[in-house]
A and B are shown apart, each in its own frame.
Chain A
Amino acid sequence: MDSQTITYREALNQAMSEEMERDETVFLIGEEVGEYNGAYKVSQGLLERFGPMRVVDTPISENGFTGLAVGAAMVGLRPVVEFMSFNFSLVAFDQIFSNAAKTYYMSGGQFPIPMVMRGPGGPAAQVGAQHSNCLDHCFANSPGLKLVMPSTARDAKGLLKSAIRDNSPVIFIENEMLYGISGDMPKGEFLIPLGEAEVRVSGKDVTIVASSRMAHMVLSGLPEFEKEGISVELVDPRTIKPLDMETISRSVRKTHRAVIVEEGHPFAGIGAEYSHQIYSACFDDLDAPIARVTQADNPLPYSKLLEAASLPSLEAVVRAAKGVLYRD
């Protein structure tokens, strides 16, 4: 057997432990990563294996420990910062934007910042407005940061390993709802380079661009599309920045239609950037205006019904696909 089935959670765990094994300068720091084995158990067993100097439980001081990681990265360590969730990275935005993103440039290339900031992002189930932020578009807007959002166990592992070896700061947004999903994993050393999109499903009628949990939502809807007689091509960017426009454009040139699905809000959301880039690269190939499916433009409410009405739905994606095919 040259492959195994493991969960997204285990994949992340393997990536970290393999990289920590390989490179002594890699360490993990964050809230509850050690003795508690991670709020979502992603760092299970790492403290036991690597000890408290390399798996560091912190106080609830995001700005402090993120900045500490930037400093440590400036002088040769390779920190992996775990945010219990990316909502709490907001407390550390100064360190992320002012320092992690800009130091290499501002110092004229003297101080690279080889660090990864990872953890779950996006809405979970009914956790309310303050715990449901989609921050991908914020990070993607800052030059100096790379941004990865894996949707499968395989990508989680291969991309996290590459992120840890990357010499720039990488924001690595996981998804709480995906930690339990399983997937095939090649045995042994295995990396996926940053900046390569994946065509998850080939089709001819419409290109759907979706990451992370949104990619799964589209996958779960394939029977729907089939029923509608729509042949969907699903492109999962995996790395949001740098964005693999070549793969996305190739798909749009083939289907002539594009629907972008994003979990965040519409205004200045990540899909606004995708659609601009698609228009720039494929204007003459498009047979319909690009459609976007997004979260509604309101903070996410607690009430289940209102929450569901705010989040992007499969129904909305099907509607959008029919729309770009002028079939509604």
Chain B
Amino acid sequence: MPPIAVAEKKTNGGNGKAKLLSKKTLTAQQKEAIKQLGRDKLIGMFRAMNLIRSFERRCEQMYQQRKIGGFLHLYMGQEALAGGMLSAIHSDDYVTTSYRDHGIALALGISPNVLMAELFGKVTGVSRGKGGSMHFFSKEYNLLGGHGIVGGQIPIGLGAAFRAKYLGTDQVSLIFLGDGAVNQGSFHECLNMASIWKLPAIFIIENNQYGMGTSVRRSTSVQDMTLKAQGYGMEGITVDGMNLLDCYMVVRDAVKTRRKRPSPLLVEAKTYRYRGHSISDPGTYRAKEEIENYHKVDPILQVRRLLQELDWLDDESAKALEKEVRKEVDDAVTFAEESPLPDPSERERHVYAP
């Protein structure tokens, strides 16, 4: 009998030769984007990425100290995606994602205080302590969750796109999903519906190359995910998910036309998660070398280098920024610590809407 699952271990990408952001090698579009963003906004995006990294590191510690329980899926390595893409949308656009939702929530500008409080199970948390790490929701920021069932968020985000079209608003809906989720029926059903109804849905595959311990090579028949878009008659674009500028530009350009004339788009962002799938996964299915290679193209280091080349940031101000970010995370922990636990009556609240 021929094997149907080829045991092919520890061989995924990451040759460390990816093109790094550098003043010398910027494309015309990247140069233009830098000009358009300007110093303050670019530093703001850099800061957001740092905040995510710092927040996630602290989460790891807090989990070890048992301040956080349940499942914890960290975003380290993928910061350029949230940092770049969410800088390109309006505050009334919709965002939906999976359980790996910390980076998305922070990049949307949600205060680390309420996120850490959520992780601590406090009533001041973004979901009143009822959701936890996987279920950040914010009506104020149009974050439609934080979803735990792989692929479950895709139709939810499509519903928001439907609403925009229904009411004729110029909003778009960003739907983040993992590479593993493309093998769920919901993904295919939604691409098709988005296409036949011309909905302003931007499907963003955060291709970190693994769904838990399974590499995309083993789980997915076609490696180029944009081909799936073709199959549903919609546009598909691949983007370097370690590159902040590219992540920013792809969404900026996508929403420009779609606000007036809605249509869906599939974006595949190639990225990498530094940590295991969740805090309880040692991630031994990946070669050390592979992980090291991705650290060489670290999304935050790249932007830092670029900012320095542009003379927009020196060592001193970079340090100051990092310090500031760490302080923000410290404050979030303090806020979470000092926040009250939910009143027992919270248990039966919100089962049914009044």
Contact = CB atoms under 8 A, between A and B. Distances in A.
Contact of B132 (A34, A51, A124, A128): A128
A56 B351 contact: no
Interface stretch (B159-167, B214-222, B311-319): B214-222
Contacts of B7: 34-35, 47, 52
A56 B214 CA distance: 12
B180 interface: yes
Interface stretch (B76-84, B102-110, B226-234, B341-349): B341-349
Given A297-B351, A303-B342, A310-B347, A59 B183 contact: yes
B38 interface: no
Interface string B99-136: 00000000000000000001001110001011111110
B213 A32 contact: yes
B121 A302 contact: yes
A143 B286 CA distance: 44
Nearest to B350: A298
Nearest to B220: A59
B344 A306 contact: yes
B181 A305 contact: no
Given A90-B149, A128-B134, A130-B149, A36 B212 contact: yes
Interface stretch (A60-68, A73-81, A281-289): A60-68
A309 interface: yes
Given A35-B213, A36-B285, A61-B185, A301 B180 contact: no
B14 interface: no
A129 B347 CA distance: 12
A51 B341 contact: no
A10 interface: no
B6 A306 contact: no
A52 B132 contact: no
Contacts of B127: 302
B130 A303 contact: yes
Contacts of B47: none
Interface in B1-55: 1-7, 9
A60 B180 contact: yes
Interface centre among B135, B180, B347, B348 (most CB of A within 10 A): B347
Contacts of B218: 35, 57
A302 to B, nearest CB: 3
B212 A31 contact: yes
Contacts of B151: 60, 91
Interface string A198-232: 00000000000000000000000000000000000
Nearest to A57: B5
Contact of A301 (B5, B129, B211, B219): B129
B304 interface: no
Contacts, number: 146
B134 A130 contact: yes
Contacts of A52: 3-7
Given A35-B7, A61-B185, A130-B134, A302 B70 contact: yes
Nearest to A90: B149
A72 B19 CA distance: 47
B148 A36 contact: no
A306 B342 contact: yes
B69 interface: yes
A91 B183 CA distance: 12
Contacts of A304: 69, 121
Contacts of B133: 302
Interface of B: 1-7, 9, 69-71, 118, 121-123, 127, 129-135, 147-152, 180-181, 183-185, 211-214, 218-220, 285, 341-342, 344, 346-348, 351
Given A31-B212, A60-B150, 20 more contacts: A32-B212, A34-B7, A52-B3, A52-B4, A57-B214, A60-B151, A60-B184, A90-B149, A91-B151, A125-B69, A128-B132, A130-B147, A297-B348, A298-B348, A301-B347, A303-B341, A304-B121, A306-B121, A306-B347, A310-B347
Interface of A: 31-32, 34-36, 39, 47, 51-53, 56-64, 87-88, 90-91, 124-131, 296-299, 301-306, 309-310
29 contacts: A31-B212, A31-B214, A32-B214, A35-B9, A36-B214, A39-B212, A51-B1, A57-B5, A60-B150, A60-B183, A60-B184, A87-B148, A124-B70, A125-B69, A129-B135, A130-B135, A130-B147, A130-B152, A298-B348, A301-B130, A301-B346, A302-B69, A302-B130, A302-B131, A303-B123, A303-B130, A303-B342, A305-B344, A306-B347
Give 10 closest A-B pairs by Cβ, nearest first. A302-B132, A303-B121, A126-B69, A59-B183, A126-B70, A130-B148, A303-B129, A36-B213, A52-B5, A59-B219
